[in-house]
Each structure stands twice: as C-alpha cells, then as structure tokens.
Amino acid sequence: MQNLENTVFNFLRKHCKTGANYGIGYSGGGDSKALLHLLIKISKKVNINLHVLHVDHSWREESKKQADLLQEEIEALGLGFYRHTLKKIDGNSNLEDLARKERLSFFSLVKQKLGLNGIFLAHHGDDLAETVLKRTFEGAQLENLSGMKQVSSYQSVVFFRPLLNITKKELKSFLKKNNLFSIDDPTNYDHKFLRARMRGDLFPLIEKSFGKSIKSNLIKLSERSDLLDSYLDEKLKDISLEPIKGPFGHFYEFYKLSNLHSLEKRYVLNKIFKKEVQVTSDSLLMDVLETLDSKMANKTFFYKNKAIISDRGILFFTYKEESYKKNSSSAICESKFLKDIKIGWRFFWQGELHCPVPSKSVDIKEFKDLNLLDQRKLLNKWERQKVPAFIRRKAPILCQNGKIIQDLLDSKLMFNEPSVSFFEWKIII
C-alpha cells in the first residue's frame, strides 16, 4: 500500500506546482474514489488545491440522485464540486464518443474558470492494457499503440494519469483497507459498450486460451511504443513542414521529405493529420502516404469537413464549401501604385495576386467564359506546368481585345510590353 502512495507522491512532486489549482474527474466509482483519497492525503505534502469535477451522463434513472450524493460527499470533505449533466441520448451507436467529447468540453470550461494547471484522471494499468489491445486490433501505428500517457494534453487542458502503473487489484485493496465505498455503475457491465465487452468477455477468453495473464505484457508493449514515439519525436524535431495557408485551406510540400525513411515520413504525416483533422484514420493515413510517395496527381480523399488532396507530392487540406467568389475583389490601378509581382498558383492559393498589365483596358474573365480553343490551350499548359488540377478553373484570367494576355496561374509574365497599370485581386476573409 505504501508503494501505491509513493507512486502518486512522486508523480505529484515531479509534475505539479506548489500552491496551484488542479481538478480531478470524479465519477464516484472505485478508481476515481481511490485516486481522490490518495490525492487528498498527498496534496497536503506537496501543497496543491483540489477541485472535483463530475459529469452526469444521464444514462441511468438514478444518476441524478447519485450526483446529488456525490456533491454532499465532496462538500463534506471541504472541496469544491463542479457538475455537468448531459442530455439523454437514446439509440446512438457513438454514445461513448459523444460523451467523451462532452466531458472534454466541460473540463475545458472549468479549467478556464478556475485557472486549473491540470486535471487528474483515474485511468490505471488495466485500462491501459485494454487500450493497447484495442489499438492493436484497430491496426494503429506502432508509435501510437499506448494511447494513454501519464501526462497529455487536449487543446488547452493538461491531463495527469498517475495510476497507469497501478493495477485494478491494488486500487481495490486500497479502498478495502481505508473502508471506502464506491458506486458500482452497471453501465461498466453493459455489453453495448465495447469496454464492457473487452473486460467481461475478451480478456478472460484470451487469458484462458493463452494460459496466462496478458495485461502486464500489454503494458510493456505500451512502454515500448512510447519509447519509439519519443525517439522519433527527438530525431525529427528539426524537420519542419509549415503549412502554406490561404482562403482555400492549407498545403504542405511533402515532397521535401523524400530523403526520410518511410517510417519517419509516416510519423511526420501523422502529426500533420492530427493538427489538421484532430483524429487520424490509420487506413486513410497510409493511403495518402502512398499517393504522396508515388507523386500521384490529383488524388482526393474526404474526411470530416475537409477534402484532402494529394497532388504530385503536395498535400492539400481544403474546405468543401468555397465562397471565394463572393469574397474576392479585383481592380485595375495606375502604375504608380505598382506592388511586387505576385502571380502563379501558389499566390492564388494564398488569396492575393498582383500583375502588371499593358493598359487599363483589360477584361477580367473566368475560365468558363473563354472559347473552347483557349480553354484547351490553358488546360494543356497547366498540365505541363503541374498546376494542381482542382484549382485550374478557379483563377481570374486577363484578356484584351478577345485574347488572353495573362494566365494568373502561370508564374511568368506572358507579355513584354511596358506596363502602365497593374491588376490586383484579393480574397477578403
């Protein structure tokens, strides 16, 4: 038992600031009950302030009454109690995921309100083993198998999990020794939830067939996954692929990583995906990486509210709904206002074009307004110049007396006459 308290004490001494505010996610179940009382006991030694956060999922009729009892319990301990009740949702297959998002949103709000330095969660070694097995079955990358880390962050909230090296059995012993009684939530045994099926059916079946416990080995696998993740993070810390941003979305020049090993490229791509779309689909990640490595042209994938396009080693994250025409503005100005020349598809992507023109009598046309011969010539030229296919028909085109004088997706000027004016085009965001 002393080992359990020492584990939590050493964790707090390493990660917590003296006199700071911290929250704890508290359900009243055995795991969070044990963590709460360990923190109460040890917090006096490290001088931190605790606030208790509770989410009533409304999955059971008695959950409100239990939340009221938990509030009485916590207030009797002299701690602040902050609760959030979710609206009841029936028949949704993504119930667990929706509840997780609601909890994270609530934690973020309380963190800002109270100025919390972090929030403690009661995940333990058995939970970690379940996560590793689940991620293995889902085909996660080797460096992403562990899922849960002792210290992690989501958006602006830091989460602490001091019990990841502690077993469920040890927590039960702590509760028994200290005469602590917890809520036994029947949803923990409800087989409509994956975790309950893994805990009640899958683990016992595997261990019975295998002839030994597998949890400790899964935890070791998690530790090795973390080591690989740390190694790659350190090795690639100087590799920087910054997004080129514009009103259409972001793009990354992934071809610049051609000298990296495929494992390293996958790691960098995974970090880009997490930044752009938060949750990474492993199969999607591998499909995109294959098209980037082969420099395939104009391969489109869809994920959430973005279209992801791989085009000749460049990775685009674009918005499905584009309103650039409504927000764009064009003008032909006198040469005394001439700015730096900005033409070519990269400047177009960033939402601003500047181009000198031979006179003010220039027509601004769209691709669809051109005759078929001019359209065909431009399409052939854009193909040779490797202009991304999905933006080829979107940029304005400058014409004079029925002839094209400047294709603004071309980074070179098409005329040699002295300029007396310049064309300016912007997207106002």
What does the pLDDT look like over 316-371, one tens digit per residue?
A: 998 755 545 556 677 776 655 556 788 999 999 998 888 888 877 888 999 999 99
Query: Of 104, 111, 110, 117, which is closest to residue 15 (Cα–Cα)?
Result: 117
Question: Crossing angle for the helix pair 215-235 and 262-277, nearest 10 degrees?
Answer: 90
Task: Give φ, ψ of 132 to 5 degrees.
Answer: -65, -45
Name all contacts of 10-15 with Cβ < 8 Å and 24+ positions apart: 11/150, 11/160, 11/162, 12/39, 12/42, 12/43, 12/46, 12/48, 12/162, 13/46, 15/118, 15/151, 15/160
Distance CA 351, CA 394 (A): 12
Q: With beta carbons less than 8 A apart as the criterion, state whether 254 and 313 touch.
A: yes
Distance CA 58, CA 81 (A): 18
Task: Give φ, ψ of 256 to 5 degrees.
Answer: -70, -10
Distance CA 282, CA 178 (A): 44
56's tokens: 């009533």
Mind listing the domains of the chain with CATH numbers?
2-230 (3.40.50.620), 244-319 (3.30.465), 325-427 (no CATH)
329's tokens: 């503005």
Distance CA 310, CA 315 (A): 5
Query: Of 391, 377, 407, 279, which is closest to residue 324 (Cα–Cα)?
Result: 391
Q: Please give the chain's pLDDT, 429 residues, in tens.
A: 568 999 999 999 999 999 999 999 999 999 999 999 999 999 888 999 999 999 887 766 677 888 899 999 999 999 999 998 887 666 555 666 777 888 888 999 999 999 999 999 999 999 999 999 998 988 888 888 887 889 998 888 999 999 999 999 999 999 999 999 887 766 667 777 788 888 888 998 998 898 888 998 999 999 999 999 999 999 998 888 899 998 888 999 999 999 999 999 999 999 899 888 876 678 888 899 999 999 999 999 988 777 899 999 999 998 755 545 556 677 776 655 556 788 999 999 998 888 888 877 888 999 999 999 999 999 999 999 999 998 999 889 999 888 999 999 998 888 776 666 778 888 765
Q: With beta carbons less than 8 A apart as the criterion, state whether 150 and 93 touch.
A: no
Distance CA 329, CA 420 (A): 20
Distance CA 255, CA 34 (A): 51
Question: Crossing angle for the helix pair 262-277 and 282-293, nearest 10 degrees?
Answer: 120
What does the pLDDT look like over 8-56, one tens digit per residue?
A: 999 999 999 999 999 999 999 999 999 999 999 998 889 999 999 998 8
